[in-house]
Amino acid sequence: MRKMDSNFISHGAKCAGWLYLPKDAAKSPVVIMAHGIAAQRDFRLPVFAERFVKKGLAVFLFDYRNFGDSDGEPRNLVSPRRHLQDWQAAIHHVRGLSDIDYGKIALWGSSFSGGHVLVTAAKNPGISAVVSQVPFVDGISTISSFDVKYQIAGMFHGLRDLTRILTFRRPHYVPVVADPGTFALMNTPESKPGYLGIVPDNSTWKNEAPARIILTIPMYRPINHAAKINCPVLIIYAENDSLISPDAVEKTADRIKNVKKVGLPAGHFDVYTGDMFEKVVAMEADFLYQHLVEG
């Protein structure tokens, strides 16, 4: 396996990417990958990438603008609109790489990016396959799963950040994850241990994000794009997910023409580590090989 830096520009800012290539392979099919809400590419995604490379697939793994090694301010800015722009720029970049078979491109996303890959595939008919893992599919469903007290607090934090934008001040940040009872983008019992459990020990990542995302979450609904996807899709969801409704994921899957959906007895973060990771990554690697190599 070869791994190299492969950066690209999205709307004037550098996005940092890693390109993984199978040893001695030429013109490999490629899987484009990026992470979920407020996360960086080094949060357990390299282990997925390495498994896919063992199947003879190239992988392009990138950070969104404002995250990780990518440029952009404010840091950790979560924005579906910007993330989707970065996905489009990543596809354009990959199609220009000499070692890639640009006619065989798959998209892989997890959690928030599990929704991004569905939207991106709906807008790009040339995509060959999609893997959507524990995907965010419906902002209304997600925000409705939190109690009224949380929703009111979220509105307060979001409006406070919006006010700071209008007055050209530093963003108002909230924690990405916290214990139950403490406000954060995610504060269910599994959120803090599950999320921090995939952050590398030497990471400089900060557990914070501008609060404005809370105002836009309800309007982000990948479910509305599902019927427009024409390529094969693998959706893996967690039956015990405290952040994303399994029913909402199933409704989304039912709108996709060519879909394989798998429900697992797991929580949202279980798919990244341990035995559940082994089960999930094997299914995903087989699916990608089937549609990128055998197909």
SS3 192: helix
pLDDT tens column, 159-212: 999 999 999 999 999 999 999 999 999 999 999 999 999 999 999 999 999 999
In the beta sheet, which residues pair with residue 236? Answer: 133, 262
**CA–CA separation, 88 and 244 (whole Å):** 25
Which residue shows structure tokens 């299914």? 283
pLDDT at 24 over 90: no
Q: Is residue 124 part of a domain?
A: yes
Per the CB < 8 A criterion, the answer to whether 57 and 102 are in contact is no
Q: How many domains does the chain have?
A: 1
When computed from its CA atoms, the radius of gyration of the chain, rounded to whole angstroms, is: 18
Give yes or no for a cis peptide into 74 (omega within 30° of 0): yes
Which of the four pLDDT bands, split at 50, 70 and 90, describes residue 295? confident
Give yes or no for a cis peptide into 180 (omega within 30° of 0): no
Which of the four pLDDT bands, split at 50, 70 and 90, describes residue 225? very high
Tell me, rounded to whole angstroms, the distance of Cα 138 from its chain centroid.
14
**CA–CA separation, 266 and 290 (whole Å):** 25
Residues 6+ positions from 174 with CB-CB distance below 8 Å: 157, 183, 184, 185, 208, 209, 211, 214
Rounded to two decimals, what is the model's pTM?
0.97
pLDDT tens column, 101-119: 989 999 999 999 999 999 9
Q: Is residue 32 part of a domain?
A: yes
Per the CB < 8 A criterion, the answer to whether 98 and 106 are in contact is no
Tell me the residue range of the domain where 61 lies: 2-138+222-294
Q: Is residue 89 part of a domain?
A: yes
pLDDT at 222 over 90: yes
What is the model's pLDDT at position 116?
98
Domain of residue 244, CATH code: 3.40.50.1820
- Going by C-alpha positions, the residue among 221, 205, 216 that lies closest to residue 66 is 205
Q: Is residue 214 part of a domain?
A: no
Q: Is residue 157 part of a domain?
A: no
Q: Is residue 217 part of a domain?
A: no
Which of the four pLDDT bands, split at 50, 70 and 90, describes residue 26? confident
Does 294 or 70 have the greater pLDDT score?
70
Per the CB < 8 A criterion, the answer to whether 62 and 72 are in contact is no
What is the model's pLDDT at position 25?
75
Question: What are the backbone dihedrals phi and psi of residue 121, each rounded to the nearest 5 degrees, phi first?
Answer: -65, -35
